[in-house]
Amino acid sequence: MGYTMMKSVTITDVAKHAKVSKSTVSQYLNKRFDYMGEKTKERIELAIKELGYQPNIVARSLKQKSTSTIGVIVANILHAFSTQVIRAIEDYCHESDFHIIVCNADDNPEKEKKYIEMLLAKQVDGLIVFPTGDNVELYEKMVKDQFPIVFVDRTVDNVNVPAIVLDNEKASSLAVTHLAEKGYERIGIITSSIKRSISARLGRINGFRNSMNEQNLPINEDYIKSAEINEIQSILEKMLSLHVPPQAILAGNDRVLMEILKYAKANSIKIPNDLAIIGIDDVSFASIYSPALTVISQPAFEMGKQAATLILSSIQKKEVETLVYKFEPTLINRESC
Amino acid sequence: MGYTMMKSVTITDVAKHAKVSKSTVSQYLNKRFDYMGEKTKERIELAIKELGYQPNIVARSLKQKSTSTIGVIVANILHAFSTQVIRAIEDYCHESDFHIIVCNADDNPEKEKKYIEMLLAKQVDGLIVFPTGDNVELYEKMVKDQFPIVFVDRTVDNVNVPAIVLDNEKASSLAVTHLAEKGYERIGIITSSIKRSISARLGRINGFRNSMNEQNLPINEDYIKSAEINEIQSILEKMLSLHVPPQAILAGNDRVLMEILKYAKANSIKIPNDLAIIGIDDVSFASIYSPALTVISQPAFEMGKQAATLILSSIQKKEVETLVYKFEPTLINRESC
DNA sequence: CCGATTTAGTAAACCGGTTTAGTAAATCGG
DNA sequence: CCGATTTACTAAACCGGTTTACTAAATCGG
């Protein structure tokens, strides 16, 4: 036996049942009681109870041109940071009775484009995007149309959208300084691919170079690598079998960190004795790992909350400053350096 | 400067611009070209291009009584299993151009109820629920209304809804058998709270008892505990300071597993020498942990895909068998036993 | 060549709400 | 007591699509 739609109860049914017009029922639903008789109110309330009426949000959205929904497009859902931010956005939006639709662009600009178009067609009231960076025209069109949008994690050159990002230079500098203090000198950094230039990754590499200079440490280009996740193992192989290998490595994000740990385990490399490791992004198991992992943490919850706040303000037509909101990274000192 | 809605382009604008009726444009959009002249087609296509028209999905949904959206309510998003299943559902729905709205009930039946009602009001075409189990009336109403719904992870007594679950008895039995083979005799199990009876947890505990009996191992009630996550540390404290403590513990899910690992690290308990550990649910870091974690894994991706398949069939009014779809757990033998 | 059929397109109703403009009855002020 | 105001409620337009019923022109068959 297949599914058959129950003939659902509409506002018209309620109106008939309560012997009033549907306008009046609508007023009731929207709590506009200014000039509503006591018995009328009661009759409507009763009718709603008796019929088990639930308003149709789609119909309301059509007329009101607002869906109380915001779209969230993350570049890659596999990063712990993404899920943390999403959770924060969700929590905060929920307080304002907004809902979110999450899409994963999978680091693919085509997919990102398709999702943006779909979400706009679905009439979301705003968009929070971890931009791949490769749909500049589309971003610009939304800016021109004054559609509410905020970026997270990354900025896009010449696109005038408020962005919530980590102070990436600072993050690297925190890591390098920490390692320098511990006496490490030959320090490397591995990030995810920068074939498509991605502001966060570039920022971390820049910060690394600057900070190495400040600490008067030598920069060895063989210690600075960016690659796809599935290439990290062979990158490590090469880097660690150099004549003079690095003593410490900064992992550009959680996925790189996990690859390094995998390599270390497979090759019985002792952390921190054989190799010190520090990661950007806190991971769920950082404190229970042996050794516990020293990490530069992003205030993901704060950043998600800020993104939500900005998008809601923008939707409510409040003034929103189009600037880069930089958040401070924190060093969580544990045992891997 | 705040946000001002661009007067958006509607089907009427396209119709005027192409000098046809909006019915014709609608036919075009829906690719019903049966009796449409070549030049008409071209004129409409051109008009759409020139005006940058995007159809309003909300309007379409209202008339068609279908939103191509399915709601997913998870009991608790903090479990790795939930996110894995969600990702599978997402992937699969995406192929059929369906979108999902994910809500987190936070193990709270009130929240679950609110979300179900909200999603119904939003006119989702179907619901995939990890049920808290405490909204039986609501579940039953949906069954009565023949609304497409499937449960995941848990069944609910006397509620006639297809359910995608792990063979929980088997999972425990796999774990116990493995431990028995390794020579462990004093085996314990810790699960999340069963104050509200939750089929998956009950099943795992039952399976544990049965399997211990089959293996002719003694069941010690002091080794069988269920509690909230924040109580696990003190539970462990007590259990491991018993006169005769357990030699091995089965963690009922990933969060319990992490608590045990946390305790072990804090108290310098060597795994597996001082205490063997086996968990239900694979965790991201299982293979890179030291020791690598032996685990009973759920086929989360398959289960999510099955859930999606069933809900889509049900929406397309295909016959769907209302039964419990049990999936096989797998032992992943690593180093923690 | 004429009635039947096919082709091409349109007007209007509809989906289920919200909102605007308006009306009738009750109350008020002088 | 009568015009102005307030109170309580409603009819109809509207949101932007889809769908049904209908029409006019072109083509077909005998």
pLDDT digits (tens, 9 = 90+) for A311-327: 999 999 877 887 999 99
Phi, psi of A32 (to 5 degrees): -100, 85
Mean pLDDT throughout A47-54?
A: 96
CB-based contacts of A49, cutoff 8 Å, min separation 6: none
CA of B36 to C1' of C4 (A): 22
Scanning every strand, the nucleotide with its C1' closest to B21's CA turns out to be C10
A22 touches strand D (CB under 7 A): yes
| DSSP-derived pairing of the beta strands A163-166 and A276-280 | unpaired
H/E segment holding residue B233: helix B232-240
What mean pLDDT do residues B115-129 have? Answer: 97
Cβ A57 to strand D below 7 Å: no
Q: How confident is the model at residue B1 (pLDDT cuts 50, 70, 90)?
A: very low
What is the helix (H) or strand (E) element at residue A267, kind and residue range? none
Provide the b/e sequence for B67-95 (b: ≥16 CB within 10 Å).
Answer: bbbbbbbbbbbbbbbbbbbbbbbbebbbe
A12 contact to strand C (CB, 7 A limit): yes
- Cα dihedral across residues B23, B28, B34, B37: positive or negative: positive
C-beta separation of B226 from B193 below 8 A? yes
Report if CB B35 to strand C is under 7 Å. yes
Distances (CA, A) of A24 to A43, A54, A55: 11, 16, 14
What is the per-residue pLDDT across A225-248, written as a single tens digit (0 to 9) for each?
999 999 999 999 999 999 999 999
Pairwise CB contact (< 8 Å): B285 & A287: no
What average pLDDT does this structure show over A176-198?
Answer: 97
Of A13-17, B31-35, B110-114, the poorest mean pLDDT is in B31-35
Q: Which residues pair with A73 in a beta bridge?
A: A103, A129
Q: A-chain residues within 8 Å CB-CB of B5?
A: 65, 146
Interface test with A, best of B99, B288, B316 (most A CBs within 10 A): B288
Residues 6+ apart with CB under 8 A from A315: A70, A125, A126, A148, B3
pLDDT over threshold 50, residue A206:
yes
**DSSP characters for A52-73?**
T----HHHHHHHHT--SEEEEE
DSSP string of B26-66?
Answer: HHHHTT--TT--HHHHHHHHHHHHHHT----HHHHHHHHT-
Asked if A284's CB is within 8 angstroms of B285's CB, the reply is: yes
Return d(Cα B88, Cα B308) in angstroms, integer: 8
CB contact under 8 A, A284 and B288: no
Q: Which long-range contacts (CB under 8 A, 24 or more apart) does B259-267 make?
A: B259/B229, B259/B232, B259/B233, B260/B190, B260/B232, B260/B236, B261/A285, B261/A288, B261/B289, B262/A287, B262/A288, B262/B233, B263/B232, B263/B233, B263/B236, B263/B237, B265/A287, B265/A288, B265/A290, B265/A292, B267/B240
When the pLDDT of each residue in chain B is averaged and rounded to a whole number, the result is 95
Beta-sheet strand order (sheet of B163-166) = B99-104, B69-74, B126-129, B149-152, B163-166, B324-327
Give the other-Cβ count within 10 Å of B195's Cβ.
9
Provide mean pLDDT across the span B142-149: 94
For helices A11-18 and A38-51, give the axis angle rounded to 10 degrees.
130
Q: Which band of pLDDT confidence, cut at 50, 70 and 90, is reported for residue B317?
A: confident
Contact in structure between B20 and B40 (CB atoms under 8 Å): yes
Neighboring chain A residues of B3 at a CB cutoff of 8 Å: 146-148, 314-315, 317
Least confident of B236-250, B268-282, B319-333: B319-333
Asked whether the predicted pLDDT for residue A51 surpasses 90, the reply is: yes
Residue A8: exposed, middle, or buried by beta-carbon count in 10 A (0-12, 13-18, 19+)?
Answer: middle
Average pLDDT over every residue of B293-322: 94
Helix (H, G, I), strand (E, B) or coil at A253: coil
Average pLDDT, integer, range A255-267: 98
Shortest-distance nucleotide from A10 CA to C1'? C16
Say what the pLDDT of residue A318 is.
Answer: 79
Question: Which token pair is B1?
Answer: 């400067």
* Structural tokens at position A232: 């990290």
Strand positions, DSSP E, B15-161: 69-74, 99-104, 126-129, 149-152
Counts of helices then strands in chain A (DSSP H, E): 12, 12
- Average pLDDT for A275-280: 98
Task: Select from B1, B100, B121 the Cβ nearest to the Cβ of A57.
Answer: B121
Q: Which residues pair with A166 in a beta bridge?
A: A327
Q: Distance between CA B111 and CA B117 in Å, rounded?
A: 10
Question: How many Cβ contacts (< 8 angstroms) between chains A and B?
Answer: 121
Q: State the average pLDDT for chain A.
A: 95
Which tens digit of pLDDT belongs to each residue from A111-150? 999 999 999 999 999 999 999 999 999 999 999 999 999 9
Tokens representing residue B38 in the block: 């070549």
Q: What are phi and psi of A256, to 5 degrees?
A: -65, -45
Q: Calculate mean pLDDT across residues B316-332.
A: 91
- Token pair listed for A132: 């791949």
**How confident is residue B6, by pLDDT bands cut at 50, 70 and 90?**
low
Q: Is B2's CB within 8 Å of A318's CB?
A: yes
For residues A72 and A129, what is the distance between their CA atoms, to the nearest angstrom? 6
Question: Are the C-beta atoms of A109 and A135 separated by less than 8 Å?
Answer: yes
The length of chain A is: 337
Indicate yes or no: strand C within 7 A of the C-beta of B21.
yes
Q: Do B313 and B149 touch, CB atoms closer than 8 A?
A: no
Q: What pLDDT is recorded for position B3?
A: 41
Give CA separation, B29 vs B7, B14, B21, B43, B48, in Å: 21, 11, 13, 13, 10
pLDDT single digits (tens) A68-112: 999 999 999 999 999 999 999 999 999 999 999 999 999 999 999
Predicted confidence at residue A6, as pLDDT, reads: 59
pLDDT at residue B322 in the model: 80
Burial label, A71 (beta-carbon count in 10 A; 0-12, 13-18, 19+) = buried
CA distance A301 to A89: 8
Both tokens of residue A273?
């004795």
Task: Judge whether residue B35 has pLDDT over 50.
Answer: yes
Are A133 and A156 in contact, with CB atoms under 8 Å apart?
A: yes
Residues in CB range of B35: below 8 A, 6 or more apart: none
Paired with B126 in beta bridges are: B70
Question: Which pLDDT band, with edges at 50, 70 and 90, does B4 fall under?
Answer: very low
Residue A7 pLDDT > 90:
no
Of A130, A152, A168, nearest to A253 by C-alpha is A168
Tell me: cis bond preceding A245? Omega within 30 of 0 counts.
no
Q: What is the pLDDT of residue A28?
A: 97
Contact B36, B27 (CB under 8 A): yes
B289–A289: do the CB atoms touch at under 8 Å? yes
pLDDT tens digits along B57-95: 999 999 999 999 999 999 999 999 999 999 999 999 999
